[in-house]
Amino acid sequence: MNSVLTDFEKRVAEIELFFSHLESIEESGASIYFPHRKRRKIVAHDPELIKVLKANLFLLLYNLAESSIKQSLTEIYDSISANNLKYNKVIDEIKKIWIIEKYDNFKNKGTDNIFSTINNLAEEIIEIRFDHTRTISGNIDGRKIREFSIKYGFSNKVHKNANNGNKLHLVKTQRNNLAHGVVSFAECGRNYTISDLRIMKKETVLYLRNILKNIEKYLNTKKFIVQ
């Protein structure tokens, strides 16, 4: 999880840099100054451009969420598989995931092979692979992350200031609206003040950071193994 957390904090730093610049240019009277031109020229920021930049924050935050959750779930799958655990050594949540993957293979097997697989279940080594295309793309919010926590068995408890990840639903919705052309960037950005965006950014980052720490603890203590 170290690489996942490092990548997360790197992306957060990029978001903070972007937001800091957005705050500066949104101030009344802010302008661009070109000191090296022969003739001094000061250009005021276009209000429409500021709206577009505000909307871009939704893309940055959603990218942070999808990337970090995708990487974290991949870590869970890889860690479980790397431990060469038998079926009866993993928690029920992982058993269910493994059975679902095995069930897909049953479709192309005869009755005798299915019977043999079931009888040898306890001796099977758990080896699972994460397919993010079926569960992640464009669909990450607080509700989905809580579903993942139940499915894999990690904690979904977060700091109260994270507001249980509620802002992430707004981030997901607006990101998808922008990605699918439902609204233009200017139309999206005009509905939010800098204060609105600051709160959204703060709660979303805190929520995701808490969830990643929960997953890190889950992996470090090997909570996927029957205690």
Is residue 169 a contact partner of residue 142, using CB atoms and an 8 Å limit? yes
Is residue 215 a contact partner of residue 1, using CB atoms and an 8 Å limit? yes
Q: Quote the number of domains for the chain.
A: 1
Is residue 225 a part of any domain in this protein?
A: no
Q: State yes or no: pLDDT of 30 exceeds 60.
A: yes
Of 206, 220, 108, the closest CA to residue 157 belongs to: 206
How are the residues of the chain apportioned to helix, strand and coil, as percentages rounded to the nearest 5?
70, 5, 25
**pTM across the whole model:** 0.87
Is residue 227 a part of any domain in this protein?
A: no
Domain of residue 94 covers: 2-220
Q: State yes or no: pLDDT of 105 exceeds 90.
A: no
| Mean pLDDT comparison of 22-26, 46-50, 93-97, 149-153, highest-scoring range | 149-153
Instruction: Identify the band that residue 15 occupies on the pLDDT scale cut at 50, 70 and 90.
Output: very high
Distance from C-alpha of 141 to C-alpha of 65, rounded to nearest angstrom: 8
Distance from C-alpha of 15 to C-alpha of 129, rounded to nearest angstrom: 31
Is residue 117 a part of any domain in this protein?
A: yes
pLDDT score recorded for residue 227: 84
Is residue 60 a part of any domain in this protein?
A: yes
Alpha-carbon distances, residue 110 vs 56, 99, 115 (angstroms): 53, 17, 9
pLDDT score recorded for residue 40: 54
pLDDT score recorded for residue 158: 97
Is residue 155 a part of any domain in this protein?
A: yes
